[in-house]
Amino acid sequence: MQAPRILKRRGLLRVSLAGAVVAGCAPRHEAAAPLVPVRAEIDRIIDISVCVRPFRPAGPRVETERLGDTLVVHNYGHGGSGWSLSWGSSARAVRMAMEPGAREVAVIGCGILGLTSARLAQEAGARVTIYAREQLPLTTSARATGEWTPDSRIALASAAAPGFPSVWEEMARTAFRTHRGYLGRPGQPVEWVDQYAITDDPPPPPRRPGPRPDGMRVDFANYGNLIADLTPEWRRLPPGATPFANATVARSAIMIFNIPDYGRTLMSDFLAAGGRYLPADFRTPAEIAALGQKVVINCTGYGARDLWGDTTLVPVRGQIARLIPQPEVRYGLVYRHVLTVPRRDGIVVQSFVGGEAAGYGDSSEVPDRAQTEEAVRVLAGLFSPSHWVS
């Protein structure tokens, strides 16, 4: 059986490399560049951050609403797929915003959805002002893992509208094409890296929906097969092809976002095109209406729960840590429920104990250092002499 070409975070956690999920052994001539071990040491942790993913069981809210004389276009609720779907979701939102022939657009929020909405509105010919409490480096968007995961916590399989899969595919393909335009730009805002799935454990049991705090089950929608042509297959590597000893290894490639550089690129492009940023902290829709703008794109993420009274939004807590950057480490991996992403601002380490349902319904942003230290110790074991042969 052919391996899924889009292997999401939760997919990585249930890879059975000895079974049918990988697409056979790769030929020996497919060797990648020599691998350098990650320095997985507790005292190299430079940051631990928590984000609250804005999950909506029905999928992202991309629709219009009237607020007096103001047309509001909502663009929020992307769960763990905000960065990945940003350009596609924002393209839909901007089409709705520009239908009345708008020449001026206000964007509320300066995370990734706000910035991409603003840039696309500019390209459509509008003068754009971003109103937000904080710019990207201080927003929840900046605490993302930085991987191309377009259907991570995007909807519940049972709650998504019948037509949503095709909408999702359109957004994913549009976003993918636009992300490609950032490859090779200064600072490497977007790049491709090899990713390794490593197992030395028995195959995991079949996946079941994860538990929610209220005892119900969470069955997230999975649409990766709709865009399987966009990324490389996972292929099992022959023994000795990598330094990972006494383990079964598969390799693919994944697109990653170097978030600080990407954010600077987008903000610089926005300002260079005549955009304005004004600090603002809106508490009610009436305050937004008082701006006097005829068209507003609302990109407030989980903040829309309070600002717009959208009680369908569910918080999904996520925590990442960064180790001191190692420019020579240009690959990611997943091993024993630990994921690494080799971003330029540090090697991201994320624990997935509990699967995708972990953190569902949890709005706490207090870091759990013990969780991070345990993840780093797991990595340290992988790169110890008994598991790594240089």
Where residue 62 sits, what CATH number does that domain have?
3.40.50.720
Same-domain status, 269 and 279: yes
For the segment 141-152, the average pLDDT, to the nearest whole number, is 96
332, 347: one domain: yes
The answer on 276 and 242 residing in a single domain is no
- Residue 32's pLDDT is 65
- Asked whether residue 302 falls in the same domain as residue 223, the answer is no
Residue 281 lies in a domain: yes
Tell me, yes or no, whether 233 lies in a domain: yes
Tell me: do 23 and 117 sit in the same domain: no
pLDDT tens digits, one per residue of 355-367: 888 899 999 999 9
- Same-domain check for residues 240 and 321: yes
CB atoms within 10 A of CB 174: 18
Do the domain assignments include residue 389?
no
pTM, full prediction: 0.90
pLDDT exceeds cutoff 70 at 170: yes
Give yes or no: residues 302 and 322 share one domain: no
C-alpha 157: how far from chain center: 19
Residue 20: is its pLDDT beyond 80?
Answer: no
The answer to whether residue 161 sits within a structural domain is no
pLDDT at 80 over 90: yes
Same domain, 375 and 339: yes
359 and 271, same structural domain? no
**Rg, Å, the chain Cα set:** 21
State which residues form the domain around 26.
Answer: 9-53+192-254+314-382
Q: Is the pLDDT of residue 368 over 80?
A: yes
Per-residue pLDDT at 85 exceeds 50 = yes
320 and 246 share a domain?
yes
Instruction: Tell me: do 72 and 83 sit in the same domain.
Output: yes
For the chain, the average pLDDT equals 90
- Flag whether 120 is in a domain: yes
Instruction: Select from 307, 340, 373 the last residue of a domain.
Output: 307
How many structural domains compose the chain? Answer: 2
Count of Cβ atoms closer than 10 Å to residue 208 Cβ: 10
pLDDT tens digits along 278-297: 999 999 999 999 999 999 99
2 domain-assigned: no
Alpha-carbon distances of 181 from 184, 185, 219, 270, rounded to whole Å: 8, 8, 34, 16
- State mean pLDDT over 93-114: 95
Kindly state whether residues 38 and 68 are assigned to the same domain.
no
Select from 246, 281, 307 the last residue of a domain: 307
User: Is residue 4 domain-resident?
Assistant: no
pLDDT of residue 28: 42
- Percent of the chain clearing pLDDT 90 (strictly above): 82
**In this predicted model, which residue has the larger pLDDT, 37 or 4?**
37
- The answer as to whether 167 is a domain residue is no
